[in-house]
Amino acid sequence: MFTIATDQLSAVINPLGAELTQLRDAAGNELMTDADPAFWTGHAPILFPIVGALNGGTYRLGDQEYALPQHGLARKLLFELIAQDATSVTLRLTDSEATRQVYPFAFALDVTHAIAGATLTTTVAATNRGQGDMPASIGFHPAFAWPLPYGQARADHRIVFERDEPARLSRIMAGGLIGPADRDAPIDGRTLALNDNLFAVDALVWESIESQSVRYGAAKGPQLRIDFPDTPMLGIWSRPGAAFVCVEPWHGIADPQGFAGEIWGKPGLMRLAPGETRAVAMAVTLEQDSSPRT
């Protein structure tokens, strides 16, 4: 485990998956999930080279078919340490004989966690080290404590979007595939009031998101601001009764129901030329201001 910190925030990073496993304020209050195995044992996995599920668990590349689990392979593999100081750590995953069996590309995936003041920024950079184009998606899956540890009731927590969100929600179909965008988002103005009923079926999924930032927490007391300037899609997920809520910025999404094309046709996919690097970042800021927010 790697620990980084400032006088306002500390984080613990697991080299398995380069995953953020603890995020604490200056008083030691935990801002992340309790990882109760009755609900979900993840913390904040990095999703690569796909986000979500594949139709039938496989994708097609030319005349070949390959299998990948939901959210890809990076979250289950050990990263190597590249650099570390008191406030940042960079970990790297590279292709291997095992990865090339399911994802036949030469790649490097660098994950940097860095704290400045009360902000933790996670930057994921994928590099194509091969001779041909490389398909890739990158996603974040952080699970924040619900309720946050500041004395406000779980029922008082909400997510406030930076902008109006007119897009309808996409349905999650059998096998985790994406169905039609035919559900009205349960947003009042820009506020999504959190309750277990929202997640009785699965995640709330926006295939197109206007906001690049949301605030999470109760109306009074410290809140988390989550910035995601590089990702055009968003999922919000929990399980009824769980002590977490996930705010998931994605550059990529699960296969649409019935999708049978090559991987190049996957929604949100990035196509990296040989030698190209694409970076996607997410920042989490603890805002101590206790004044009510709209």
Structural domains present in the chain: 2-287 (2.70.98.10)
Grouping H, G, I as helix, E, B as strand and the rest as coil, residue 97 is helix
* Per-residue pLDDT at 288: 87
**pLDDT of the residue at 175:** 87
Question: Which residues in 30-118 belong to E strands, given as ranges?
Answer: 46-47, 58-61, 64-67, 80-84, 88-94, 107-116
- CB atoms < 10 A from the CB of 128, how many? 23
The pLDDT of 248-274, averaged and rounded, is 94
Residue 162 has pLDDT above 50, yes or no: yes
First to last CA, the chain: 38
pLDDT for residue 293: 45
Looking at residue 202, what is its pLDDT? 85
- 106-127 per-position pLDDT tens digit: 999 999 999 999 999 999 999 9
Give Cα 57 distance to the centre of its chain.
20
Confidence of residue 209 (pLDDT cuts 50, 70, 90): very high
Q: Which of 51, 52, 56 is nearest to 67 (CA)?
A: 56
Cβ(14)–Cβ(21) below 8 Å: yes
Beta strands 80-84; 88-94: pairing state: antiparallel
Digit-coded pLDDT (tens) for 41-96: 999 999 999 999 999 999 999 999 999 999 999 999 999 999 999 999 999 999 99
Average pLDDT, the chain: 94
Percentage of the chain beyond pLDDT 90 is 91
